[in-house]
Amino acid sequence: MLIQFSVENFLSIKDNVVLSLLASKDNEHPEHLIVDGNKKHLKSAVIYGANASGKSNVLNAFWFMVNYVLTSHNQQLHKTIDRSPFKFDRETPSRPSSFEVIFTTNGIRYAYGFSVTDKAVIEEYLYYYPNGRQALIFERKDTKDFRFTVDVDEQNTLKDRTSANKLYLSVASNWSYSKVIPVLEWFASCQIITKHSVADAYGLEAEQLKEGDYRHVIASMLRVADF
């Protein structure tokens, strides 16, 4: 269950923005709430605003985070990170883009986040709350400075396999480190439909979707959907 997602310095998003599914104290629609202990969360949320105000870029940012978690262990050494920082400012292109997600899976709450530049993962962390209290799985600062409190020997080995442009979470899960597998599986379960993820999922450029054969398929799908 997604609880909160936040992003900063990505596409049209300059300052930190937060999408929160924590419920207010309003009890008017209890059937739309998920009760988790003394907290209540929303089953769904809507982002609304004017045209070209950046609504889709919140989803695009989430898609970037999910995709990078699932694929960064395959990054070639020294390959640049394909992020898109806010460009209508002289300083933001050189600053990191930051992403964080808070969620529950298998009854346990997790908080995971990272910051990246074009060349490296600057910061990365994973906390969980197995007994309702925060516990550290790993922290990463200044790209190469790691801190572990559990499975230290195993994690030190995995750390040495993590190059500057790879997420430690992605590498550790690829080597079947048990503490991060539930997190990787949660990311893998996310289904995101945006203009970017559709093109990526089918291995197509957006322009190809305008070609006759693809247009025919799309038109058929729209007829079934009955818009």
Residue ranges for the chain with pLDDT beneath 70: 194-209, 227
pLDDT of residue 195: 62
CATH architecture of 2-189: 3-Layer(aba) Sandwich (3.40)
pLDDT in tens, 94-153: 999 999 999 999 989 999 999 999 999 999 999 999 988 899 999 999 999 999 999 999
pLDDT of residue 217: 79
pLDDT of residue 194: 64
pLDDT of residue 219: 82
pLDDT of residue 214: 76
For the chain, the structural domain boundaries read 2-189, 195-225
Task: Answer whether 99's CB lies under 8 Å from 126's CB.
Answer: no
- Helix axis angle for 55-71 and 181-189, nearest 10°, is 140
pLDDT of residue 203: 55
pLDDT of residue 218: 79
Residue whose pair of structure tokens reads 């060349």 in the numeric block: 119
